[in-house]
Chains A and B, each alone.
Chain A
Amino acid sequence: MAASSRSRIVIARLFSTAGTGYAYTTVRPRIAEKLVLRKYDPIVKRHVLFRERGSSKS
């Protein structure tokens, strides 16, 4: 069986820094930094910062 190779792309889950628990899911290259984006949080009904959290899945 061939040795498993790490994927070039990882799945990133971005959680709201407002603490609501709302999250967005996207992809990024493995070598890139963790994502921090400004996106809409429907629970507080405002645009807030979303920060990638946890181990990234390949």
Chain B
Amino acid sequence: MTLAEQQTTTIHLITTTIMAASSLSLLRRKVNPSILARFQDKQLAATTSAASSSSSHSSAPSPFHPTKSATTQRWAPPAYSLRRQAQLVNEAYADNTLSSLPDGPKKSKLQSRLASASSSSFPDSFFQRLPKSDRKWSSQEIRDHQKAIIADLVTEKGPYVGRAQGIAPGRILSGIFKGRKTYRQRPKRERDIAENMADMEARVKEWRSVSRRGDVAQR
């Protein structure tokens, strides 16, 4: 075999090996296609083509935001629907590559949820037992202890102002988020009853003076 023939064979072997490897990776991708992987491939191709082209655009439009056409002044929907954006964000969060995704409503929503979750989680004291003591804690003391913890969880903004975030474990605190209707209405009800009872003596006296049955009852 001549030198040229050897070089040709070597090159052919190398090319065949590369092609086999790429087709194997493609096969693997096809067998286990990741939505995020496909998105990243598309983004890479888009940025490569944008870099190679002589376009005057400094940055490609985000595929997660609607775009306005310069010619028709009409808004085009985002390239990825909110459902697909949510899928991408969830996969990126699982892969720990959230920062590599372009900005979008689903990404910012997840980031704000993560930020609020870390700040408003249940305090450790909530799950701790009462401090040890030589006597048994009364049920009222246990309730006061839990109420003090719940008071820290009461939110001051949003549609649920004045209510504790989250559903507390335990039978005593079940339904703490909104509370039972009878418990919510109890303070007003007690005020009304107290108001009615304030002049009850006078009303009974008046009834006794007017009613024949009142006369009978007084005997």
Contacts and interface: CB of A to CB of B under 8 A. Distances in A.
B204 A44 contact: no
A18 B189 CA distance: 11
A48 B205 CA distance: 11
A18 B207 contact: no
A49 B204 contact: yes
B197 A49 contact: no
Contact of A44 (B197, B207, B211, B214): B197
A52 to B, nearest CB: 12
A17 B211 contact: no
Contacts, number: 33
A49 B193 contact: no
Q: In which size bucket is the chain B interface?
A: 10 to 19
Contact of A38 (B193, B196, B197, B207): B207
Interface in A9-57: 17-20, 36-38, 43-44, 46-49
B207 A19 contact: no
Chain A, interface residues (CB within 8 Å), range: 10 to 19
Contact of B203 (A17, A19, A46): A17
A18 B204 contact: no
Task: Please classify the interface of chain B as helix (H, G, I), strand (E, B), loop, or mixed, using the class held by over half of its residues.
Answer: helix
A38 B192 contact: no
B20 interface: no
B156 to A, nearest CB: 33
Contacts of A48: 197, 200, 204
Contacts of A37: 213
B196 A36 contact: no
A22 to B, nearest CB: 11
Interface string B21-64: 00000000000000000000000000000000000000000000
Contacts of A46: 197, 200
Nearest to B191: A19
A4 to B, nearest CB: 32
B197 A18 contact: yes
Contacts of A43: 193
Interface of B: 189, 192-193, 196-197, 200, 203-204, 207, 211, 213-214, 217
13 contacts: A18-B193, A18-B197, A18-B200, A19-B189, A36-B207, A36-B211, A36-B213, A38-B214, A43-B193, A47-B204, A48-B204, A49-B200, A49-B203
